[in-house]
Structure 1
Amino acid sequence: MISLRVLALLLIGAPVLAGAGMTLLTALGWQPAFGRTELSLAGFEQALAVPGLWTSLRLTLLTGIGASILSLALSIPIARWVVSRGRGAGWLAPWLAVPHAALAIGLAFLLAPSGWIARMLAPLAGWEVPPAFVTVGDPAGVALILGLMLKEVPFLVLVTLAAAAQQPVAAQMAAGRSLGYPPARVWVRGIWPVLYPSLRLPIFIVLAFSLSVVDVALVLGPGHPPTLAVLILRRFADPDPAQAVVASALAVGLLVVMGAAVLLWFLAERVIARFGSEVIAQGARGRPRGGLDVRVPMGLGAMLGLGAFGALALWSLARRWPFPSILPESWSLARWAEGAWLAPAAETLGLGAAAVALSLLLAVVWLETEDRSGTRAGLGAVIVLPLLLPQIGFLQGLTSGFIWLGLPPGRVAVLWALSLFVFPYVMIALAGPWRALDPAQIRSAASLGAGSGRRLWAVKLPILLRPLMVAAAVGFAVAAAQYLAVLLPGAGRVRVLATEAVALSSGADRRIAAVQALALAALPLVAYALALGLPAWLYRDRAGLRGGGHGA
């Protein structure tokens, strides 16, 4: 078990900590490749003088914290609505599989002044040309907040449902109703606070992502000045090596902002908990009130999401689509037939499959060692550390560390960086079903003389085929969605669908960007379809294994 922890530290925790350390050293002026080994605070002083810094910081806090709070607030009633019906969560997994960048590009095509919504409104408003108001890239970051919420609300709903599955929610709801409390009040005051400790880590992951997201901010966010993460990326991309010092100092600042946001969240928890305890102690039951029907925001979100992908599909097939026509005037498969998306798709598929294979191997070895040793190692901060830190805060430092170790930018560096983000999700997805496996089945195999290796290959893995494939699909969706983890360690030499789609989203030809974005969205969906369909087909004649095994 100790060796496994050391292995996880070396492969996951150590690179992240080393990357953050290298970022700090660079911020202090340590650039041995350029003969600079003396440390100073000049980089931080220059960072504070960057034009537009405080506006970028304000936008980062507004969009990051705002999107997180709004997503959490919406997820609470939506989760109650889903739980009360006992079904309806099947749409969450496919929706979560769609990469942020693909959804953001579709949303931009939907909301832009010349987008699909404006075209639908043009006959009513009398627009002959696109209206002269800013919708995408607005100075307040509203489009960015909306794009983040479309992905974060389903994620928080899903983790809330997972936490609720471990509690006697139906009995608690019945008890609250018998005391005269409306269902919504029972959920908010009695059930959801019990679930909250299980939601804290996912909430912090959402917060870290929202504060440091780059690809969505490049597509939907303000550009002059941009959010802090985009500002840092632009400085890293500057050919002047002195700008790397400034960018690193800004990246360290973003890490501090993330830490401050977490501390502020903890403080808010204490305040709300104390205030909530006083309110609950008063015992006011209230009456059911006809507030906003939760189906309204759910319907709006679904319409925006489906509209975004509808806009992508139309643009990918359009030959000529002048404003204000609602549909293209002529159609063509030329952009698909050109095949410019094939090479990035193959690169995405290859790197994603390799990262998933490595992560699955490490997860299986980890969990099997737990079984054989009889002790359990928690997931721990080491595994989830890459998800809790801003990517821009350690990935550039990690890239510098790779070069220092003799690993040049390219596929190997990208594969390692991708695995930092894929392994935590694979481990989280697989650990529950693995540990829930009925031990009686393993003892039966042992009583028949099967050794530990055969029990693994002939019993555990076949029974857990569906959870294994679901974990692989989750991991592949994570790998396909990565932008910075490819861009920085690959130094622009590795072209995947995420980097190509984002780069093309601001170009003159929406057709090419639409093709890349649709291909980016399709690959994870295919992976999920295989994960759900292949075990059912393989075990179609084996009733005991058709559902993926006990605990799946």
Structure 2
Amino acid sequence: MPPGNARPDLPTVLATGLLLGPVLAGLAGTLLPAFGYLPVLGFDTLNLDAFRQLVATPGLSRSAALSFGTGLATSLLSLAIVLLFTAGWSGTKTFRRLSRFLSPLLSVPHAAAAIGLAFLIAPSGFLVRLLSPWATGWSRPPDILILQDPYGLSLTFALVAKEVPFLFLMTLAALNRPHVQEYAKAARSLGYGRVAGFLTAVLPQIYPLIRLPMLAVIAYATSVVDVAEILGPTTPPPLAPRLVQWMNDPDLAKRLMASAGTLLQLAVSAAALLVYLVLEKAVSAVTTASSTRGWRFRRDRALRGAGLVLMALVAAAMVLSMGLLGLWSVAKSWWFPAALPQRWDAARAGDAIGMGGPALLATVLLAIAAAFAATALTLWLLETRNTHQKNRSRRLNALFFMPLLIPQIGFLFGLNMLFLVMGLNGSFFAVLLAHLVFVFPYAYLALSDPWYRLDPRYTKAASSLGASQARIFWQVRFPLLLRPVLVTFAVAAAVSVGQYLPTLLIGAGRIVTVTTESVALASGGNRQVAAVYAVLQLMIPLAGFSLAALIPSLVYRNRTAMGVSRT
């Protein structure tokens, strides 16, 4: 790990190659087949046949509209909930309590959250069972299309429940900037209400740090595959799941059409990003006008209450969903309208875990390898930068967000073709590399802020005593940052566990994880087995975060005891 005599630019070169190399190669590998050029499959002439076939596909415009509408609605709702709650409650005990409560929800994989929410809101789900038959009169599940509804409402709800914790944690990190709380106090001293004061004085200071994560959410939500396959419409489905279907079609010509459709998906995501940027300018203009006119909105109790209720609903929905996964994993019979299972059977869950052993092993190995590589590269990158390069490293955030700002499906098709030509398709190494493209940005974002907030006087004191850079790292910085490093490792492992599309496409069916299995089982009729695999998805990140909390306590238990004895 970070040697003191390493070339300063080497980690940056490696990080840039890891992030941009697969993305650019994947985009090139998508662009050429879209125009009919894919020699490995026998297509060696440039033409527009794939686009003609794509345009003639029934329901294409509706699929594109679903992806655009659900993705943009998800992003705007998530941001509105986070900002409204933060504006109304930051600095209060309620805010601190919910902050500690929401943080673990970030580690929940999207597929597991979607399965749990399906158990919650389905016509035979837990919410209907709680009200039946005493309040609804239903002795059978109602004939109401809630899951996979044609407008994508359940899909939007699930994505909001997952993206709110992510945007909230990004906002928390931004609130740690110096003097932010002073801005809020100054606004309140001038007579502004909590919400108006936050939007007028605080948000302009922290929004630049939230902007890139928000754009990443839009890119993801407009091109999501796993959640869309579980909760999204099916007649027709959103655009991204249709592209996966075409990519896996036995007719090889469909792969060319899938590449052409991928360019359409990129256009849909770009359009959603453009609309958001236009709305951003409009909201900024309205906020500036209201502050110029001196509107202080002192009576904002209703807005504050709405922000708290919405945030509490998101947290409650996620917690209930995770609890339902646990109940369904050990339920033998659970007939409607019973609120709890009539019979329990943990043996079937054990059998399912035994059958899923290879998938679980592959998931754990990928998570550990990806987390170790991403965390090590992040440490090396941060260590080889001195204080004067801090601003430069912050400017690299745009580079680190690049794989998150481009829809996964936009370049994974091409990357899959590249690995196929190289003979790496379906190998563990290829899947690991594909995971790293998405894991490394999260590892860097998780560790860079604690790293730069470390008091530089520790390093200066050690350097004045003649310690080398390597010794300063291993004996000063690393011990002081042990907890953030372990949390970064846990975050990276959780991101790897949740990777569905890279595993599905690059793994080519040979690398199977609990995530790919749980999505496949979610459409089946056996809820118990689907719940078991979803629980396995949860257990791996949970184990990682538990170890991240336990290991520093064990390593520094003597220092803690010394601190207690002195008091």
Give the TM-score range, shorter chain. over 0.9
User: Does 2:347 align with 1:337?
Assistant: no
Matching residue of 2:24: 17
Matching residue of 1:320: 333
**CA 1:208–1:324 in 2, change beyond 3 Å: closer, same or farther?**
same
Greater shift, 467-476 or 530-539, is seen at 530-539
Which of 472, 484, 489 aligns to 1:455? It is: 472
Matching residue of 2:185: 174
**Equivalence map 1:533-548=2 (5 Å):** 533-543=550-560
* Separation in 1, partners of 2:204, 2:480: 35
Matching residue of 2:485: 468
Matching residue of 1:57: 64
* Structure 1 residue 289: Cα displacement: 4.2
Matching residue of 2:495: 478
Secondary structure of residue in 2 paired with 1:328: coil
* Structure 1 residue 330: Cα displacement: 0.8
**Equivalence map 1:146-545=2 (5 Å):** 146-291=157-302, 293=305, 294-338=307-351, 339-371=354-386, 376-377=392-393, 378-543=395-560
Q: What are the superposed Cα offsets for residues 366-403 of structure 1, whole Å, 9 maximum, x if unpaired?
A: 12221399675442433221111111111121111112
Q: What are the superposed Cα offsets for residues 394-438 of structure 1, whole Å, 9 maximum, x if unpaired?
A: 112111111222323221110000000111111111122223333
Greater shift, 211-220 or 181-190, is seen at 181-190
**CA 1:284–1:452 in 2, change beyond 3 Å: closer, same or farther?**
closer
Greater shift, 455-464 or 41-50, is seen at 455-464
Task: Kindly provide the amino acid, as one letter, of the partner of residue 7 in structure 1.
Answer: L
* Structure 1 residue 333: Cα displacement: 0.6
* Structure 1 residue 343: Cα displacement: 2.5
Secondary structure of residue in 1 paired with 2:557: coil
Please say if residues 539 and 545 of structure 1, whose CA atoms lie closer than 8 Å, have aligned partners that are also in contact: no
Task: Kindly provide the amino acid, as one letter, of the partner of residue 153 in structure 1.
Answer: V
**CA 1:544–1:181 in 2, change beyond 3 Å: closer, same or farther?**
farther
Matching residue of 2:83: 76
**CA 1:82–1:542 in 2, change beyond 3 Å: closer, same or farther?**
farther
**CA 1:233–1:544 in 2, change beyond 3 Å: closer, same or farther?**
farther
Q: What are the superposed Cα offsets for residues 439-466 of structure 1, whole Å, 9 maximum, x if unpaired?
A: 3222333333332222222222222211
* Separation in 1, partners of 2:297, 2:525: 56
Which runs of 5 or more residues in structure 2 are unaligned?
1-7
Please say if residues 120 and 326 of structure 1, whose CA atoms lie closer than 8 Å, have aligned partners that are also in contact: yes
Q: What are the superposed Cα offsets for residues 125-183 of structure 1, whole Å, 9 maximum, x if unpaired?
A: 22222110111111111101110111111221221121122142432222222222222
Please say if residues 194 and 300 of structure 2, whose CA atoms lie closer than 8 Å, have aligned partners that are also in contact: no
Task: Kindly provide the amino acid, as one letter, of the partner of residue 558 in structure 2.
Answer: D
**CA 1:191–1:449 in 2, change beyond 3 Å: closer, same or farther?**
closer
* Separation in 2, partners of 1:451, 1:130: 69
* Separation in 1, partners of 2:494, 2:136: 40
Matching residue of 2:4: none
**CA 1:190–1:371 in 2, change beyond 3 Å: closer, same or farther?**
closer
Task: Kindly provide the amino acid, as one letter, of the partner of residue 30 in structure 1.
Answer: Y
* Separation in 2, partners of 1:341, 1:118: 31
Matching residue of 2:11: 4
* Separation in 2, partners of 1:228, 1:432: 36
TM-score by length of 2: 0.92
* Structure 1 residue 515: Cα displacement: 0.5
Number of equivalences = 546
Please say if residues 336 and 515 of structure 1, whose CA atoms lie closer than 8 Å, have aligned partners that are also in contact: yes
Which of 91, 106, 114 aligns to 1:96? It is: 106
* Separation in 2, partners of 1:172, 1:373: 27
Greater shift, 266-275 or 327-336, is seen at 266-275
Secondary structure of residue in 1 paired with 2:423: coil
* Structure 1 residue 312: Cα displacement: 1.4
**CA 1:222–1:109 in 2, change beyond 3 Å: closer, same or farther?**
same
Please say if residues 40 and 421 of structure 2, whose CA atoms lie closer than 8 Å, have aligned partners that are also in contact: no
Secondary structure of residue in 2 paired with 1:319: strand
Please say if residues 19 and 399 of structure 1, whose CA atoms lie closer than 8 Å, have aligned partners that are also in contact: yes
Please say if residues 96 and 154 of structure 1, whose CA atoms lie closer than 8 Å, have aligned partners that are also in contact: yes
Q: What are the superposed Cα offsets for residues 85-113 of structure 1, whole Å, 9 maximum, x if unpaired?
A: 15221122211011111010011011111
Greater shift, 356-365 or 166-175, is seen at 166-175
* Separation in 2, partners of 1:436, 1:138: 47
Greater shift, 297-306 or 221-230, is seen at 297-306
* Separation in 2, partners of 1:304, 1:442: 45
* Separation in 2, partners of 1:373, 1:111: 52
**CA 1:342–1:79 in 2, change beyond 3 Å: closer, same or farther?**
farther
Please say if residues 411 and 494 of structure 1, whose CA atoms lie closer than 8 Å, have aligned partners that are also in contact: yes
Please say if residues 92 and 155 of structure 1, whose CA atoms lie closer than 8 Å, have aligned partners that are also in contact: no
Please say if residues 141 and 221 of structure 1, whose CA atoms lie closer than 8 Å, have aligned partners that are also in contact: yes
Please say if residues 78 and 157 of structure 1, whose CA atoms lie closer than 8 Å, have aligned partners that are also in contact: no
Greater shift, 291-300 or 367-376, is seen at 367-376
* Separation in 2, partners of 1:275, 1:107: 36
Secondary structure of residue in 1 paired with 2:211: helix
Please say if residues 82 and 311 of structure 2, whose CA atoms lie closer than 8 Å, have aligned partners that are also in contact: no
Secondary structure of residue in 2 paired with 1:91: helix
* Structure 1 residue 82: Cα displacement: 4.4
Greater shift, 242-251 or 355-364, is seen at 355-364
* Separation in 2, partners of 1:545, 1:70: 48
* Separation in 1, partners of 2:45, 2:493: 42
Greater shift, 247-256 or 37-46, is seen at 37-46
Please say if residues 13 and 383 of structure 1, whose CA atoms lie closer than 8 Å, have aligned partners that are also in contact: no
**CA 1:439–1:275 in 2, change beyond 3 Å: closer, same or farther?**
closer
Matching residue of 1:549: none
* Separation in 2, partners of 1:415, 1:169: 40
Which of 103, 114, 125 aligns to 1:115? It is: 125
Please say if residues 103 and 147 of structure 1, whose CA atoms lie closer than 8 Å, have aligned partners that are also in contact: yes
Identity value in percent: 42
Please say if residues 102 and 315 of structure 2, whose CA atoms lie closer than 8 Å, have aligned partners that are also in contact: no
Greater shift, 182-191 or 99-108, is seen at 182-191
**CA 1:427–1:137 in 2, change beyond 3 Å: closer, same or farther?**
same
